[in-house]
Amino acid sequence: MALAAAGRVLLQAGSRLGRREVVDGARRFANKRVEVEADEAAGIAVMKLKNPPVNSLSLEFLTEFLISLEKLENNKNFRGVILTSERPGVFSAGLDLMEMYGRNPAHYAEYWRAVQELWLRLYLSNMILVCAINGTSPAGGCLMALTCDHRIMADNPKYTIGLNESQLGIVAPFWFKDNFVNTVGYRTAEHALQLGLLFPPAEALKLGIVDEVVPEDQVHSKAQSVMAQWMAIPDHSRQLTKNMMRKAMADNLIKQREADIQNFVSFISRDSIQKSLHTYLEKLKQKKG
Ligand SMILES: CCCCCC/C=C/CC(=O)SCCNC(=O)CCNC(=O)[C@H](O)C(C)(C)COP(=O)(O)OP(=O)(O)OC[C@H]1O[C@@H](n2cnc3c(N)ncnc32)[C@H](O)[C@@H]1OP(=O)(O)O
C-alpha cells in the first residue's frame, strides 16, 4: 500500500517531467538525470544513469529514476530492464554525500525515505533486472547492482565494486548488509563490510558480487543476450520464485521503515559523523589537486 501511494505521487510529479522521442523504433524518455530507451515491441528498456559528474544518487536523481521505473512497471508490455551508466567509467558513486552533509533533520529524513524507496522498488520489481556495470560502483552504487537479477561487469581493473561505508566512517544499514550477506555469504560479508573493501572485477566475480565479467566493449551486448535468456522463462513462475526468495527481506525493512529513518537521521546528524564525512569530502577534493 505504502509503495502504491508513493508511486502515485511520483507519477504525478513525473507527468511534469521528461521529454519523449522515437529513435530506431525505441521510445526514448529523456529526463534530465535518467535516459530510458524503451523498446516496447521487444519488452525491454535500457535505463541509463545520467547524473554528472559521477552518477551520485541525489534526491533529484532518485525522484527521476523512480518515476521512470514506475512508468515501465505500469506498462505490462515491459518485462525486462537493463541498468547501466551513460558515462562509462563510473556506474554510480553511490549515495550523494552532499545530501547527508550539513543539512537539517527533515532533509535527512526525506532523503533516506527516497533511498529506501529505490531499494524496495528495485528489489521487489516484477521485471527482470540486468545490471551492466560499466564503471566503478561503490556503496549505494553497489547496492543498486545487488538488487538486480543478474550482474555483468566490465573487465577493467581500474573499476571497483563493494560496500565501502566503513571507510567513510559510516555504517551500512541492516538492509544493505542483508542484501550483501545473501549475495556473498556471511563470512565474506563480515570481513568486507568491516574493512569497507572495494573489489576489482575478477575478485568481485570470485566472491559472487557479480555474475560475469566481460571485455568492456561487450558489456551491453552481453546484457542483451542474458536478458534474452531470462525472457525465455515464463513470467509467472519467475516472478513467483523471485518474490518467494526476496519478500521476507523486503518485509523486514517495510515493517521497520520509520524506525530506520529515525535511526539514520540521528546517526547522520551526529557531530562525529558529520566530521567524518567532511574529512572524506576533503580527501576526494585533494585527490584532484
Ligand atoms: C544508520 C546510518 C546509515 C548511514 C549509511 C549511509 C550509506 C551510504 C552509502 C553510500 O553510498 S556513501 C557514498 C560512498 N561513495 C564513495 O565513497 C565514492 C566517492 N567517490 C569516488 O570515489 C570517486 O568520485 C569516483 C566515483 C571513483 C569517481 O572518481 P573521479 O576521479 O571520476 O571523480 P572525482 O573527481 O573523484 O569526483 C568528481 C566530483 O564528484 C564528487 N563526488 C564524488 N563522489 C560523490 C558522492 N558519492 N556524492 C557526492 N559527490 C561526489 C567529488 O567530490 C567531485 O566534486 P568536485 O566538486 O568536482 O570536487
For the segment 183-200, what is each residue's pLDDT rounded down to a tens digit? 999 999 999 999 999 999
What ipTM was assigned to the predicted interfaces of this complex?
A: 0.98
For residue range 240-250, list pLDDT tens digits in order.
Answer: 999 999 999 99
Q: Is residue 161 within 6 Å of ligand 1 at its C-beta? A: no
CB of 285 closer than 6 angstroms to any ligand 1 atom:
yes
Measured CA to CA, the distance from residue 41 to residue 229 in angstroms comes to: 17
269-276, long-range: CB < 8 A, 24+ apart: 269/105, 269/108, 272/169, 273/169, 273/170, 274/101, 274/102, 276/168, 276/169, 276/170
Integer Cα distance of 40 and 267 in angstroms? 44
Mark whether 57 is an active-site residue.
no
pTM of the complete model: 0.93
Q: Percent of the chain beyond pLDDT 70? A: 90
CA 34–ligand 1 middle distance (angstroms): 18
How much distance in Å is there from the Cα of 138 to the middle of ligand 1?
Answer: 9
- Taking only the tens place, the pLDDT of each residue in 131-162 is 999 999 999 999 999 999 999 999 999 999 99
